[in-house]
Amino acid sequence: MEAERTRTAEAGVFQVWYQPQVALETGALCGAEALVRLADGRGGVIPPAEFIPELERSGRITELDETVLRTVCADLREAERHGVRLGPVSVNLSRLHLGRADAAERLAAIVQESGVPERELVFELTETAAHSDETDELERLLGRLRAMGFAVSLDDYGIGFSTLKLLADMPFDYLKLDRYFVIRSETPRARAILESTVRLAERLGARTVAEGVETDEQLAFVRRAGCFAAQGYYFFRPLPFAGYLRAARAQRRREE
């Protein structure tokens, strides 16, 4: 079974799914996060937790991220042909990109080739990747991507090595508050942390996105805390491209 999955991973039958994000002030779709899936060959999909660790060990995860980015750009163009604006779409980057001196240039080249405007993409870098010896590289990559016109997002905020130094030195546009704090929103301590982090991000010129919102209570809480947007099963599960296109189209109709 394991060997079979690895072979499939190498054959490259990846799919990109999209989880829509909702702006809390208006309730409107405001983009999505691209999440990779592996086709199991029987019509189902295998989640990333089952194949990403192996790709990280072998170093091939950077290639996968580039494949995902290429697919996202093609999907954005396809949606545009249908008259639907899908973006901005967030693309996850593994920390292994930090070790590549030309990472930003390679990513930018893929986007330029596709003709998608840079502002339609957000690159998410997990903050848990920022081991103390990698913060310089992280800062450099985020800085270069932003200079090229992309937005950048600090993913999984609050559960990794987040230090105030990191926030002070690192340029970023979005802060994604980890689900850990959303789940614990009934506890006063998690609330205090979430609310003050939203204010902190605001002062630094960034927007906060709450991850993993599943219930009415959690939604009310992240809205009260002042988060800009939320993502979670409460609104949408990750959808295949066609499903996301339908959701975005329905949104456009509501706006008309």
Footprint of ligand C2E (CB under 6 A): 19, 35-36, 47-49, 52, 61, 65, 68, 92, 94, 155-156, 212-214, 231-233, 238
Can you tell me which of 65, 137, 155, 173 binds Ca ion, judged by CB under 5 A? 155
Q: Which one from 66, 124, 127, 211 is the annotated catalytic residue?
A: 211
- CB within 8 A of 201, min separation 6: which ones? 175, 207, 208
Taking CB under 5 A as the binding criterion, the range among 12-20, 138-146, 156-164, 236-244 that sits at the site for Ca ion is 156-164
Minimum CB separation from ligand C2E for residue 164, in Å? 22
Structure tokens at 212: 């993993």
Minimum CB separation from Ca ion for residue 3, in Å? 29
* Residue 124 within binding range of Ca ion, rule CB under 5 A: yes
Rounded Cα distance, 43 and 182, in Å: 33
* Residue 65 within binding range of Ca ion, rule CB under 5 A: no
- CB within 8 A of 230, min separation 6: which ones? 21, 22, 24, 209, 210, 211, 213, 219, 222, 223
Residues 20-49 that bind Ca ion (CB under 5 A): none
Nearer to ligand C2E, 126 or 135 (CB): 126
Nearer to ligand C2E, 5 or 252 (CB): 5
Minimum CB separation from ligand C2E for residue 34, in Å? 6
214 tagged catalytic: no
Give 181's Cβ-side CA count (13 Å radius): 27
Catalytically active residues, by annotation: 211
